[in-house]
Chain A
């Protein structure tokens, strides 16, 4: 695939939870090496968008392509093998596994992932807590672990759902630095962030999701010039 093909392309995404329609029409592109952020009010459909991309939504219409390949009809484990990794809003750290077991759980699916040593260098506090049970970690440590464990798999497209939710400012700063480092290492990131100030320092582009549709997109450069309008639109 040529570099002009977006790593992720979504067209006309509609999604349903049972009878309820959660997404109506979401269009977005994420190019290789970009950090793209979905913003919008609570309940707008940002998380549902991410979950649709990794295949966790049962009923879904529209066209989603990863590196040009359609994920139509693919099971979540097959979508993962296209090089996508997901870090959910609830973090999903397994309490019955140790930190080390949590870290090593996602299998290496393709070459190019980080080694355990590199991950420990990036997250030294996780190395120190290797033998602890996953359930005993603080919120910040859980978030670090949730991000760390998907770096080994070889996936180049990372989906991060609310990586700073509920965390102290010191940890939020650390996560911001981590995301910057990941971008430098060539990862492509699509994230959902309620904390617009945090996201505005990190993302290259933004999509605004409102009532299940993508209504607007703007670049990071627009944040400085149109701050007031954007903040009003987001209800901040």
Chain B
């Protein structure tokens, strides 16, 4: 394994350490510094002044899942677009046609979702 490749990930590791240490350090420091006087009213859920009347984790509407589903499918499509774009100059016309067919398939799916009114919120 090339040492350049391994060493280039050292900086990723350093950033990872900073990213973990910074919030942990800041929160710990804040906990040491701030006064800690809990009372009944302070520990209720904050709902802009209203009194909370049931559990905050309610059942969501199925529409949320529709958007998650569309996100996942098109996320996977994007994954295939990256290597195509990087290698495009060496690939030529055939790859372009392949990718057009691929995108066309997913556009069909998008049109289906549109016709089924999945994209509408209300």
Q: Are A and B co-members of a single complex?
A: no
